[in-house]
Structure 1
Amino acid sequence: MKRTFFAILITSVLSYQPIWAADWLPVRDISLEVRPGSPLDFSGMLPNSPIDEAGRIVINAAGKLAKVENSEAPLRFLCASLAWSPASGGFPDHETADRYAAQLKMHGYNVARFHYVDAALMEGRSTDFDFNPDVLGRIHYLLAALKRNGIYWIMDGLSSSRGAHGGFSDRWEVKGDLKLGAQIDDADFNHWLEFQKRFLAKVNPYTGTAPVRDPALVAIVPFNENGLEFDSMMQEGVRGAAFSERLKPLFNEWLSRKYETSEALIQKWGWWVTKGNLTDRSIALPTNRYERSERMRDLQSFFIEVEQGATHKMTQALRELGFRGVILPYNNWPTIQTGVTRSIQEAVAMNTYQDWVDSYSPGTSIQGKSSLEDGLLYLRTIAAARWLGRPFFLTEYDHLFWNPYRYEAGLAAPALAALQDWDVLCRHAHGPIILKYGEDFAHKKQMLPYAIALDPIARAGETLAALVFRRGDMKSSSLRIPFLADGQAHLPDGINDMEPEMLTRLALLGRIGLQSQQDLDQTNVAVPPVRGGQTPAAIVSQLKQRGELDASHLADLDAGNITSQTGELELHAPDKKLALRSPMTQALAFDGIDADVDLGFVTLRSADGRGLFAMSSLDDMPLEQSKRMLLILASDAHNTDMRFRDADERVIEDFGRLPVLIRKMEIGIRFETDSAFRISPVGLDGRVYNPIIAAEGQNAVILTNDVPSGPTTYFLMERD
C-alpha cells in the first residue's frame, strides 16, 4: 500500500514538473523560410524540371517511375504530405501558396500528396457536394503553384469516411460507413464517383486543365485506408460489432456460390456454424476478428473478391475520366490477405508508423521505444507487402513526436527505402514545413504528433532524406529475395496474419517483396509459398552458398547485427545503432557512443546522449574530396512547459507551448583530412553564422548544438 501511494505521489508531482531549463535550449529562429543559396537550399543540387506532357510520369519496362521523354531513367520522389485542416491553418492564400511551393522545392520535394481534400472542401457545409468556393480556389491555386515549381501531385480520391456528404461536423474523425459502402453499394460508389467528377475532372482555372488529365498528377489513392478488415477494425467501437451487417447478405451469397448447401458448409467449417443456414442466407459473420478458423479463411477470400472487384470498378471509372497515371488502392495494412488483393494492382502503396498516436488529449500515451531495437519492424513489415517489379509508394510513415528516438527515422526510413529501391517516400504530416513559428492555429501553437514542420528533429530527418533517398546517396541492393505467393492457396486461418517477422529481417540485407510463384527465376533464392519452417538463417545460408553474399558477410539476423548486401548500411539492434557509410553521406543514429565509431571519412568519438549525426557533401564530390559539407546533429526537442504524467515521459499531460526547446548535446568528431577546416552553425532558415570551430588536419573536435546564434540541428563544414 505504501509503495502504491508513493508511486501515485511521484506521478502527481511529475505531471506538473517542467522540462529542466539547463538541459533544453529555446529555439530563437522565428522565420523558417530557407534562404536562397544557403546550405539548406537544395533546388540547385536537386533540380525540379518543368512539368508538361513530355514530363508525364509513367511506369517503365523495369517497373519504375520515369518521365515519358526519358523512360529508361527511373525517378525517385520525396513527397510533401499536405493534410491541412482548419486546425492547422487550412489551404494558404495565393501569396502564401507561392512562397510555400517555392520553399518545398528548395527543401528537395518533387511531389506532394493531397490528403483530406474532401473534408476541407466540405467543412461546415450542410448540402452534399456544396464545396466551399474559397477553399476550392485556394486548392486550385496551390496545385498550379506546385506545378510551376516542378512538384508533381498525388491525390486521395476520398479521405474522409463522410466523403462529400453535407451536415457532418466529425469528418476529420474515423466515423462513417462510406469506405465500406463505396465497395459494396451502388449509391455509395456513385457518391465517390461524383466527387471525382466534381473535383478531379473539373478544369482548374489556374492550370487550364482538369487535375485528372494534368501531367502533374502522378497517382490517385482511390479511397485512403479502405481495406475491409482495417476499416472494420477502426469502426468496431462505433459499429459495436467486429464486422458490419452490410456485409452479411453479400457474404451469404458468396458462401452459397461456393458451398451450395448448408451441409457442405458445416462439413468445412465444423462447429463454427452455430446458427443460420445458407437456404435463407442467415449465416452470421464472425463476432471476434481474432478467431482462427476455416470460417476466417473464407472471410478473407470473400474480402479479396470484394476488394478486387472494387479495384476494377474504381480503376475503370478513373480511366474513363481521362486519368493516365498510377492507381493505388488499399494503401495500408500489410496482411497476407491484403497482399493477395493487391496482386492485381499496377503499383502498391503502404502506410506505416512507429508509435502511432490517435489523440491529442491528456492521458494519451506512447510506447517510447526505439525502432532500431526491433530491427526496423515497422518498415520491413511493409517491405514484404510490395510486389516486386512494380512501383512502390510509401504514402505515409512517421516515427511520431514525442517519442525520444524519433531521430532514428531521418536515417532509417530513407536508407531502407533506398536499399529496397522504393519509388516514393512520404513522411506524414499536416504539412512538412512551415514558413515561421507562431502562426495562430490550434495545431501550430506547439509541436504535436503529425506536426513535423515545427519539430527540428523531424525536419533534420527530412533534410537527410532528400540526400540519402532522392539524391541517391545510398545504393539500392542488387540482391532480390522474392516472397513467393500462390494466389489464395495459402491463406492463413487468421485474418490479420502478416509475413513472419523473422523472415522480414531479410529486408535489412536486400530487396524483398511478393512475387508470383509462376514468375520465379529458378536462379533466385526465394522464400517458398509455405512460410512455415522457413528461417532467415537458412535463406542467408543459401545466398552464401550461391555466392550472392560473401561467406564472411555480417548477417546475424537472429541477433540483429546485419550489414546490407551493398555494404553501406549496418544495424546493431542490441546497441540501438544504425550506420550509413557511403561516398556522399555518412551517418549514425545512436543511443549512445562509448567507443569510436568509424564511418569512413568521419569518426565519432563520444556523445553525451542519444541522437543522429550525419555528414553529406554539398558540392557533388565524395566526402574525401568535398570542400563544402552539411553536418546534421539532431538530439530531441520538446515544447516549453511540456508536462507528463509519468517519469518515463510516455503519458502526456500538457503539450506545452512555443518556443520549441532542443536538448543540449555534444559530440566528439575526428575527420580523415590533412586540410584545415572550419565549422559554422546554420540556422533553421539556412543562415550561416560565424565559425565556432577552426582546426587543422585530423585533430578531434567537440561539436555542440549550444551555439551563440541559438540551438540548431545544422552546421556547415568547409575546408581549404
Structure 2
Amino acid sequence: MTFLRAALAIVAPSRFSSFVSPSCLRAFVVLLFLLSPSARADVVWLEAERPANTNFPQKNPFAPITPRESTLLSRGNWLGADKPRKETLFAEYKFTIEKPGEHQLYARKFWKHGPFRWRIDDGAWTLVPADAPLLDRVELRRFIEANWVWMGAANLPAGERTLRIELTENTGAASFDCLLVTDAPFVPRGKLQPGEPARTSAADDFAFDPATNPDTASPIDLRFLNESSAGEQGRLIARGGEIVHESTGAPVRLWGVCATADVVGIAPPLLDDLARDLARHGVNYVRIHMPVGDVRGADSAAIERVQRFVAAMKRQGIYTSLSIYFPVWFKLKPEDGFGSYKDKEPFGIIFFDEKFQAVYRSWWKALLTSPNPHAAGLPLSDDPAVAMVEMVNEDSLMFWTFKPYDTIPAEPMAKLERLFGEWLSRRYGSVEAALDRWGGQRLRGDDPAAGRAGFMSIGEVAKQKTQRAADTASFLADQQRQFFESTRQFLRDECGYTGLTIASNWYTADGRILGPLDKWSNTVGDVMDRHGYYGGKHEGPRATHTIDIGDKFVDRTATRFDRQEGFDPEKRGFNTPFWDINYDGKPSIISEVNWTQPNRFRAEMPLIAAAYGALQSSDGFAFFALQGAAWDSQLRKFSVQTPAIMGQFPAAALMYRRGLVKSADEVVTAAVPLADLRQLKGSPAQQQPNLDELRARDIPPGQTAEVEKVDKIDPLSFAVGRVGLNFVEAPAASRMADVSRFIDREKAIVRSATGELVWDWGRGVITVSSPKAQAACGFLAAAGPIALGDCVFDIRSEYACVMLVSVDDQPLATSKKMLLQVMTEETNSGWINGNMIADVGSPLV
C-alpha cells in the first residue's frame, strides 16, 4: 500500500485563504485522485485454498513462512504444488450467480507458473497460458510473488454454478490465492476485494487507495488536452526542430509512459479504462516496448496485442511509438544459426549480420503491414496514431557490450572483420596497407590474406587515440549509420510506413570521444532519443531490477545535485537525465526516464521534467514504466503509477504541454567538424550517461557510469538555456553566450535565461515563477516561506513538491480555474529502511 506523508501549509497573498491546515490539505490531496465507487455489482470471491473438491496436495511448497507473508495473501494462505505428478491437478468451486449476463473471471496466482484451463459447469474449456499478462505484482519473498491474471469472460445464467480449474502441465510450480467472478469493472489491488478499503495504523500516513472508475467526472480531468482521436490532424512530423501536426503545423509535446508486454497485453476489460485514465492524467503518448517475435519469426499473438493496444490508446487521443528490439530480450544458442552463442544476448550483431537483420525486419513487416482487426483493418503502417518507430533500443557498437570474441563469438566476428577490411581497403587500398600505416602489434582477427582486420576493445579505442583507434571508431560509426539508413528505407519501401523514425537511444564507452560519433550515426532518424535514470547507489543481488530485504542504498536528490554516493557539499554531480543536447536541430525525446526506487526524493521528477523540459524545448518524455491497469499496489524498482509520479502528472503535464514555462534560446551552439570526431578529438558537449543498474552493470570495474566534467562547456548551461551541437563537414564557428551571469557558484544558484526558473543547489530548492505556473520543490521546510509571482508557499514538511498551475490557460492573477498539487513522500506499508532495506513493506502504497 502506498502511504503519503504530509505536514503542509500554504500561504497566498491574494488568491487563497491565508492558511490551509495539514488535515485539510491531506483531504485535498486525496480528492485530487478520488473517483466515485461503481454501482452495486455481482461479485463472487473464491478462496483458492478452500475448494469444494481437489487433488492438490495439502501442503503447499510456496506457503507463507513469516507472518508478513501471510498478510500479503487473501485469508493468509494459498493452494499450490511443485513436484512432478502423475495425474492432472484440479480444483472445483461452487458459487451462485445472482444477475445473469456476461461475467469476467480473474485469478490471483504465482507469477507465470502453472498454466491452466478452466470451465464453468459443462461449458467449453478456456486456456490461461503461462505468458498470460500479469495485472499487478506483490512479492512475498525472493522469487515468489502473487499476481492477478485475466482468465476470460463467460455468459452465465443465474443460479448455482461450478468452476473447475485444471493445470495443463504435470510438472513445475503452480499456486493460486483467490479467484474472482464479476460483472463489474475490476482493478487489482493485491489481496483486497472489490470495494474493500485499505487501512494503515501509522499515525502520520494515509493509504493511497483512490476509487478507480475512469468514467466518473473529475475536476482535474485533462482529456480535453488530447485530440478526440490520435492522428485526426494527420501524422506527426519533424519540422523546424519540433514535432508538429502535419496538417496544421502546430507543435506537439509528448507527455507519456512506457508500456511493456504485460501491460500491452492487459485484459480487454481493463484496457479501455487504462487508456481513459492515462488521458485524464495528461498523457498523450505511450511507448510500446516489447518483442513481437523471436529468431523463428514474428509472433502473431503478440502483434494482435499491439494492434489492440494502439487502437485503444488512439480512441483516447494518445499516440504510440513502437520499440520491438532490445538485445537483452533474446538469448541465442548455436542451433539458432548465428554463431556459437551459449544463451547470450546478441549485442551488436544487428548492425552487421545480414541473416539476423532479415529476421529482425520480418518482425517489422508483420507488425506494420498486418491488417488491424481492432481498427477496421487499417494496418499500423497507415495509422497516424503510430507516431514513431524505434529501430534499436539500448545497443551500440561503441558501448562496453562490444567485446570481440566475448559478447560476439567468432562466427559473426569474422563477418564484421571482413566488413572492416573492405572499409580499410577503400581508404588505404588494402588491409595490408592499413596495418602498415598503423604499425604496432597485430590483433586477433587481423588476416590481410582473407581481407579481415581485427578490433581493439572499445575502451582502448577511446584511450589510445591512435590512427588504428580512430579508424576503428570511424568504421563502427559508419556501420551503424549504414544499418539505420537501410532500415529506414526498408520501413518506407517495404512496410509503407511514413511516420517518424528513431535510430537508437544509447550511450558509449566515452561520452566526449565516442558519444558524438554514435549520435551522428543516429541522426539518420527523424527524432533523437536518449534514456535517463536517476538514483543513488543501490546494492543487492537483484538491484538491477527489484528491491530486496538486505539491499543497501543511498537516497539522492537532484535539487542539491547529489552524487550517486550521496550528499557531499564539497562534491556535486551537475547532471540530470533532463539535460538535453539538441543535435543537428532535430526534435529530441527521452523515451525512458525515472527516479528509481529506493529513493525518498522521487517527488521532484515530474516538476523537473516539465519545467526544464520546457526550458530546453524537449519534445517528449516517456516515464518507465507502467506496471498494470491502475495505481501500483506496491512500490517497485521502476514504479510510475504512484502518488509521487503519476499522481503529479496533471499539474506537470499542463505546465509542459501548454508551454506554461518559456523555452529558452540556445546559449551554446557547438559546430563540430565530423573529421575531428573521426580523429577522436571529441566534442565540447556530451550527453552524460544516466544509467539504470541493469545497464550500468555492463560497464567494467574501474570505469565510471557518470561523467561529472564537460570540457569547455559549463555543465550548468543546461539549466540556463538550450545547448545545441551540429555536425559539420567543414570547420564552422560555434556560438556560446556568457552563461556566467546566470550562474553564481558562491551562492550555489543557477537561473534560467528566461528568468522563470531558479535552481538553488545550496539549499536544495528549485522554483518556477511564470505568469501561469508557480512551483517549488526540495527541502522546503528549511527554506521557509517562498514568495513567487502570485503566491507564497510555506511548506512545513522537510521535503516536498508543490505546483500551482492555471487550468483555463489564463494568468494565475486572473485565472478562475487553477490546480494546486502537493506531494511529499511515498512508501510501502511497513517499509523499514535507513540505508538498508529491513523490510520492503506490503501493499498498498
Provide the C-alpha distance between the structure 2 equivalents of 1:509 and 1:473, rounded to a whole number of angstroms.
Answer: 17
1:286 corresponds to which residue?
456
Letter in 2 for 1:435: A
Letter in 1 for 2:665: S
Give CA deviations for 1:367-421 in whole Å, capped at 9, x if unaligned: 422223338855467512x314221121111111221222121111121110111
Letter in 2 for 1:570: V
Local SS of the residue matching 1:229: coil
Structure 2 residue 530 is the aligned partner of structure 1 residue 350: yes
Provide the C-alpha distance between the structure 1 equivalents of 2:205 and 2:662, rounded to a whole number of angstroms.
Answer: 37
Letter in 1 for 2:546: Y
2:83 corresponds to which residue?
none
Contact 2:671–2:732 under 8 Å retained in 1:
no
Once the two structures are TM-superposed, the CA of residue 136 in structure 1 deviates from its matched residue by 4.1
Letter in 1 for 2:753: Q
1:312 corresponds to which residue?
485
Contact 1:642–1:657 under 8 Å retained in 2:
yes
Provide the C-alpha distance between the structure 1 equivalents of 2:403 and 2:448, rounded to a whole number of angstroms.
Answer: 32
2:195 corresponds to which residue?
none
Provide the C-alpha distance between the structure 1 equivalents of 2:233 and 2:353, rounded to a whole number of angstroms.
Answer: 39
2:241 corresponds to which residue?
63
1:128 corresponds to which residue?
296
Structure 2 residue 733 is the aligned partner of structure 1 residue 555: no
Structure 2 residue 322 is the aligned partner of structure 1 residue 155: yes
Letter in 2 for 1:151: I
Provide the C-alpha distance between the structure 2 equivalents of 1:369 and 1:559, rounded to a whole number of angstroms.
Answer: 21
2:256 corresponds to which residue?
79
Q: Would you tell me which structure has more helix in proportion to its own residues?
A: 1
Provide the C-alpha distance between the structure 2 equivalents of 1:405 and 1:245, rounded to a whole number of angstroms.
Answer: 49
Give CA deviations for 1:216-262 in whole Å, capped at 9, x if unaligned: 11110012122222372699986699x96764443344344434567
Contact 1:640–1:656 under 8 Å retained in 2:
yes
Give CA deviations for 1:82-138 in whole Å, capped at 9, x if unaligned: 1243xxx662232211111111221111121100142xx66xxxx8236263x5444
RMSD (CA atoms): 3.7
Matches for 1:202-217 after TM superposition, within 5 Å: 202-207=370-375, 208-217=377-386
2:815 corresponds to which residue?
626
How has the CA–CA distance of structure 1 residues 33 and 573 changed in structure 2, closer, same or farther, with 3 Å as cutoff? farther
What runs of 5+ residues in structure 2 fail to find an aligned partner? 1-68, 70-199, 337-341, 537-542, 562-571, 687-708
Provide the C-alpha distance between the structure 1 equivalents of 2:574 and 2:378, rounded to a whole number of angstroms.
Answer: 42
Structure 2 residue 416 is the aligned partner of structure 1 residue 416: no
Provide the C-alpha distance between the structure 2 equivalents of 1:197 and 1:489, rounded to a whole number of angstroms.
Answer: 38
2:57 corresponds to which residue?
none
How has the CA–CA distance of structure 1 residues 473 and 328 changed in structure 2, closer, same or farther, with 3 Å as cutoff? same
Provide the C-alpha distance between the structure 2 equivalents of 1:301 and 1:359, rounded to a whole number of angstroms.
Answer: 34
Give CA deviations for 1:465-508 in whole Å, capped at 9, x if unaligned: 21121122111113452122211413575999972535332111
How has the CA–CA distance of structure 1 residues 269 and 371 changed in structure 2, closer, same or farther, with 3 Å as cutoff? farther
Local SS of the residue matching 1:456: coil
Give CA deviations for 1:152-191 in whole Å, capped at 9, x if unaligned: 11111423545699999xxxxx974445222101111101
Aligned to 2:580, which of 359, 383, 406? 383
2:630 corresponds to which residue?
435
Contact 2:589–2:621 under 8 Å retained in 1:
yes
Structure 2 residue 730 is the aligned partner of structure 1 residue 526: no
Letter in 1 for 2:456: P
Provide the C-alpha distance between the structure 2 equivalents of 1:285 and 1:368, rounded to a whole number of angstroms.
Answer: 40
Provide the C-alpha distance between the structure 1 equivalents of 2:614 and 2:379, rounded to a whole number of angstroms.
Answer: 33
Local SS of the residue matching 1:489: helix
What runs of 5+ residues in structure 1 fail to find an aligned partner? 1-15, 169-173, 437-443, 528-537, 542-552, 661-720
Percent identity of equivalent pairs = 22
Q: Would you tell me which structure has more strand in proportion to its own residues?
A: 2
Which has the larger Rg? 2
Once the two structures are TM-superposed, the CA of residue 329 in structure 1 deviates from its matched residue by 0.5
Letter in 2 for 1:141: R
Contact 1:179–1:223 under 8 Å retained in 2:
no
Local SS of the residue matching 1:474: coil
Provide the C-alpha distance between the structure 2 equivalents of 1:381 and 1:471, rounded to a whole number of angstroms.
Answer: 18
Local SS of the residue matching 1:490: helix
Local SS of the residue matching 1:623: coil
Letter in 1 for 2:721: G
How has the CA–CA distance of structure 1 residues 21 and 418 changed in structure 2, closer, same or farther, with 3 Å as cutoff? same
Local SS of the residue matching 1:230: coil
Provide the C-alpha distance between the structure 2 equivalents of 1:416 and 1:492, rounded to a whole number of angstroms.
Answer: 34
Provide the C-alpha distance between the structure 1 equivalents of 2:723 and 2:284, rounded to a whole number of angstroms.
Answer: 26
How has the CA–CA distance of structure 1 residues 566 and 238 changed in structure 2, closer, same or farther, with 3 Å as cutoff? same
Contact 1:289–1:495 under 8 Å retained in 2:
no
2:716 corresponds to which residue?
505
1:591 corresponds to which residue?
779
Aligned to 2:766, which of 578, 598, 610? 578
Give CA deviations for 1:490-548 in whole Å, capped at 9, x if unaligned: 357599997253533211111112123479997xx625xxxxxxxxxx8436xxxxxxx
How has the CA–CA distance of structure 1 residues 233 and 38 changed in structure 2, closer, same or farther, with 3 Å as cutoff? farther
Letter in 1 for 2:258: S
1:340 corresponds to which residue?
520
Contact 1:101–1:149 under 8 Å retained in 2:
yes
Give CA deviations for 1:26-52 in whole Å, capped at 9, x if unaligned: 4151534556432331123x2423345
Once the two structures are TM-superposed, the CA of residue 581 in structure 1 deviates from its matched residue by 0.7
Local SS of the residue matching 1:150: coil
How has the CA–CA distance of structure 1 residues 480 and 446 changed in structure 2, closer, same or farther, with 3 Å as cutoff? same
Local SS of the residue matching 1:452: coil
Once the two structures are TM-superposed, the CA of residue 299 in structure 1 deviates from its matched residue by 2.4
Contact 1:260–1:278 under 8 Å retained in 2:
no
Give CA deviations for 1:413-433 in whole Å, capped at 9, x if unaligned: 1211101112112111135x7
1:656 corresponds to which residue?
841
Structure 2 residue 589 is the aligned partner of structure 1 residue 396: no
Contact 1:410–1:460 under 8 Å retained in 2:
no
Provide the C-alpha distance between the structure 2 equivalents of 1:192 and 1:327, rounded to a whole number of angstroms.
Answer: 16
Provide the C-alpha distance between the structure 1 equivalents of 2:387 and 2:775, rounded to a whole number of angstroms.
Answer: 32
Local SS of the residue matching 2:518: helix
Provide the C-alpha distance between the structure 2 equivalents of 1:586 and 1:237, rounded to a whole number of angstroms.
Answer: 53
Letter in 2 for 1:641: G
How has the CA–CA distance of structure 1 residues 139 and 350 changed in structure 2, closer, same or farther, with 3 Å as cutoff? same
Aligned to 1:489, which of 666, 676, 684? 676
Letter in 2 for 1:608: S
Provide the C-alpha distance between the structure 2 equivalents of 1:255 and 1:47, rounded to a whole number of angstroms.
Answer: 52
How has the CA–CA distance of structure 1 residues 560 and 237 changed in structure 2, closer, same or farther, with 3 Å as cutoff? farther
Give CA deviations for 1:536-590 in whole Å, capped at 9, x if unaligned: xx8436xxxxxxxxxxx53236875211111111111222211111122111111
Local SS of the residue matching 1:416: helix
Structure 2 residue 636 is the aligned partner of structure 1 residue 448: yes
Letter in 2 for 1:516: F
Once the two structures are TM-superposed, the CA of residue 365 in structure 1 deviates from its matched residue by 4.9
Q: What TM-score results when the alignment is normalised by the length of structure 2?
A: 0.63
Give CA deviations for 1:669-699 in whole Å, capped at 9, x if unaligned: xxxxxxxxxxxxxxxxxxxxxxxxxxxxxxx
2:739 corresponds to which residue?
540
How has the CA–CA distance of structure 1 residues 278 and 519 changed in structure 2, closer, same or farther, with 3 Å as cutoff? closer
Aligned to 1:50, which of 225, 229, 240? 229
Letter in 2 for 1:478: D
1:146 corresponds to which residue?
313
